[in-house]
Amino acid sequence: QVQLVESGGGLVQDGGSLRLSCQFSGRSFSLYTMGWLRQAPGKEREVVAAIYAGPTSTYYHDSVKGRFTISRDNARNTVYLQMNSLKPEDTAVYYCAAKFRGNQNYEYWGQGTQVTVSS
């Protein structure tokens, strides 16, 4: 019913930037909270950033505040994650995820894209 396709990952130097994109295929994109989550080996999956359905508000993990920006374009059914000042500890698989407005858990997931930050 909903498909998420990510792009934009890759290898970048310490201090560099990447912009991740997530294309949402399905109905009622504007009614879904969209999130970017990441998981590194030996670490728990964590929500990096989220942008909520309804009144536009955002969440950022403390570790990325001031460096990452999440945004969405409802006309294009796309969510973005602009990542600046990348650090080696940002290295992880990044997932785009969606949950319908009001739901507790993310319901739909992208395939994941590898972000590697070299020192």
The pLDDT value recorded for residue 56 is: 80
The pLDDT value recorded for residue 88 is: 97
Give 93's Cβ-side CA count (13 Å radius): 13
Q: Are 106 and 58 spatial neighbours (Cβ–Cβ below 8 Å)?
A: no
The pLDDT value recorded for residue 1 is: 87
Residue corresponding to tokens 């945004």 = 71
The burial of 105, by beta-carbon neighbours within 10 Å (0-12 exposed, 13-18 middle, 19 or more buried), is given as exposed
Residue 71 CA: distances (Å) to CA of 13, 19, 41, 42, 88: 23, 11, 27, 29, 23
pLDDT by 10-residue block (mean), the chain, 119 residues:
96 98 97 97 96 90 98 96 98 98 94 97
The pLDDT value recorded for residue 42 is: 92
